[in-house]
Amino acid sequence: GKKVLIWIGGLLIGLAIVYELIINIKRRHPGILWTQGKKAPPYPWTSHPMPPSKAWGVVEGPKPTGAWYMNLVVTDNDAFMPSVATPYAYGINQSKLMIGYGPAHRVLTAATITDNFELDLLIGFQSERKSKELLSADLLTATLGIESKNGGFIKARFARGSPYTTLEIMDIGKDKLILSS
């Protein structure tokens, strides 16, 4: 009896709070929480001064800000900025994938712990890169395709937190494969 009535009363109070928070806020403050197509934001629309590179590949629509793989695709050129998929960091130089194991190069000070990028493994092709393209991506994984001008093609599969990096050499073409550590 009494416990059931208290439980039902608590449930009704909880539903009233949810109704107040979700439904009534929407009525009193239109455009604050639910603006999808109903009300334009109060600032002018503008495009980014740096258009997305072709390397974004399969990523449609708005590009994820701060995605862990972003530095691999933010530009089409080789301005080297490593992408960190802990414990490894990756970079692209022409048709070569650079891999660094940060914890092996850790610098400890009284104020910071830094895992610096230093090249531990280089794999790729001798000729220049024809293209690089993100083939798939989500919060934890990404696959990057690297194609050389002489027909070589590598699929590099990255997974955050994985102790492994998978490289699939799809074709060597008329190129020479380079492996250096």
* DSSP per-residue string spanning 66-108: T-TTHHHHS-SS-----EEETTEEEEEETTEEEEEEGGGGEEE
Closest to 135 measured CA to CA, from 126, 146, 124: 146
Closest to 137 measured CA to CA, from 71, 51, 87: 71
Contact between residue 75 and residue 92 where contact means Cβ atoms under 8 Å apart? no
Q: Residue 106 contacts by C-beta under 8 Å, 6 or more apart in sequence?
A: 113, 114, 115, 116
* Tens place of pLDDT per residue across the chain (181 aa): 777 778 888 888 878 777 776 666 556 555 554 445 566 667 777 777 777 788 888 877 777 778 888 888 887 766 567 888 888 889 888 888 889 998 888 999 999 998 888 889 999 888 888 888 999 988 889 999 999 999 889 999 999 888 888 889 888 888 888 888 8
Closest to 93 measured CA to CA, from 116, 68, 124: 124
Inter-CA distances, 179 with 74, 83, 96, 125, Å: 25, 20, 9, 9
Query: Sign of torsion, CA 156 114 139 163?
Result: positive
